[in-house]
Structure 1
Amino acid sequence: MNVLVTGGAGFIGSHYVKQLLGADDVARVTVLDALTYAGHVENLGEALLDARLTCVEGSVLDAVLVEQVMAGHTHVVHFAAESHVDRSLAGGPLFVQTNVLGTQVLVGAACRHQVQRFVHVSTDEVYGPLPVGEATEDDPLQPTVPYAASKAASDLIALSAYRTYGLPVCVTRSSNNFGSAQYPEKIIPLFVSRLLRGEPVTLHGRGEHVRNWLHVSDNCAGIDLVRRGGKPGEVYNIGGGTDLTSRALTGELLRLCGADWDSVLYIPDRRANDIRYAMAWDKIANQLGYEPRRDFHEALSDTVDWYRHNHGRWTPPRHACSVSLDATWEPQHA
């Protein structure tokens, strides 16, 4: 099979590409990535040496390029998105353009090229805040912030392509991911990079917001189960991580970074900061055999160690993927 991965040089996408190339039945993988501030081919590591991998620099909004890249691919896994909540509060139009219109461009091309499987990767934030209980795949979407609203809209765009045109679309929604090579704007890499430099970190409000933390490898494994065996037109929650308040998470990071609570500053809560996200993930477990494998504490320690030993990767330089669709990608060596 030939798989197109959008956003494959980003945090989750690059981890997924590396897992994907470990499968014997994958003949070709193409990464389409705009290489914005959070996407870097360095994230792909040794996968760049795999002859099956081709990288193309470009946006999912570029309809002509998407049409060219889509040709010859049997499967599509769509990660490409603007994803940071704080940035969405000030830059909503960009999130709508990339997340909603970009998804429309992709599903349109996928329909024309009769793609056999299209997985749209989304987030638990589309369900909105849940003070108690867990969201199931059948619950209504009640996003709060512009980022979550743009992802909810893109979910519906993708699912509409199945209902209207028969494109075999599945949607995955995961809880908060963490792991190596995540750009330091999300709380874990941001706090770790600051603490390792001896700088303070800031907690919103009283630090009582609850998130479920799932290692990126477990999310990628769940996504691939859906790509291989998910039922078209269905949504699959991918959870099973560890629930922590932001204050409890901060305590873990302080310990691992050798810092103390004097490094923590409390600041007013940000606008529309959902108090808690929670999802049930029985469906993917029962239907596809999904089970998260990484222990949270071990995985978090490994993540901190990665940042400790990769100082140069916290703000890495950008490199182009390839100059044309006809060019063969060659890894860049220093």
Structure 2
Amino acid sequence: MTPNPAPPAAIRPRAALPIRLAIWAAERFPPTTAAVVLVAYAAVMLLGRAATHPGALPASATDLATALGALAFYLMVRVFDEHKDFVRDRIAHPDRAVQRGVVSLADLRVVAGVAVAVQVLACLWADHGVGPVGAWWASTMAWIALVAKDFFLGERIAGHSVRQPVASMPVSALACLWMAQTGAGGEPLPWAVAGGLAALGLLVSAVFDLARKLVPEPGGAGRSYAAALGPRRACLVLGAVLLAESAVIAAVQRLVVPGRVAPALVLLAAAPALLTLLWAARPRLAGRATLAALLGQLGVVVAALVGTRGMG
């Protein structure tokens, strides 16, 4: 990991560490991100439970523990990104908390350590020891370790605007299976459902990454798909990926809860996907509409599962 030099005396922080970490979290892991993570976790966990438990969906304190584990996982990933992108962000984002010296990378390593401990405890709780939940989590962590080393391919992946995020996307597929397994408990996920959830994790990750990085941040800093692909082509790719993600989530939904709710998921995504053609000149609007559609889809999944199966 990249060492974090001490900040200049003029900006060296004097506030207590919890306050400085809160400043960093508000910037890099705001409540809106936490809310999206929790809704995504609830949708995937309930899909895993519905696929392996007939009748009403059982609920327990374990669900709260694994939800905290999911939050801790994405917090850990954010810390990982801070280390991996530190040198580049000193140029592209000099106003961020880490680059200004508000918090150091050493401070964030402590946060990551606590986050990993929370994940391990959540897996042990869900498995009542060592079991399939922990196995999926370990697989996810192994892929993150490969990403940290750029798959030992060096500059052929590191810093590349398309290859690097594409190589990272399987993390979301594995994390999706991990979260689904927390819902399934000790029961194995059906192969069709597991394959659909893995595809869903990949596509949700792609939609989220495309929507967030479709255009440069204010001031023109940072990487963007519009710069790499051109605004029109980037919007077309975003619309196509959103429709593909909609089809997969509808298919998985039909596997676990037969009914008419699945077509609604595709319709929920159709408007922003098609409007990306009209918004090619203003891709920031397309990105925001797509994120709203994604969150709406996940909410529909949760509502459909609870509404049709009930909670026991």
Q: TM-score range by the shorter chain?
A: 0.3 to 0.5
What TM-score does the superposition give when structure 2 sets the normalisation length? 0.32
Q: Does 1 or 2 have the higher relative contact order (CA < 8 Å, sep 6+)?
A: 2
**Higher-Rg member (1/2):** 2
Instruction: Choose between structure 1 and 2: higher helix proportion.
Output: 2
What TM-score does the superposition give when structure 1 sets the normalisation length? 0.31
Instruction: Choose between structure 1 and 2: higher strand proportion.
Output: 1
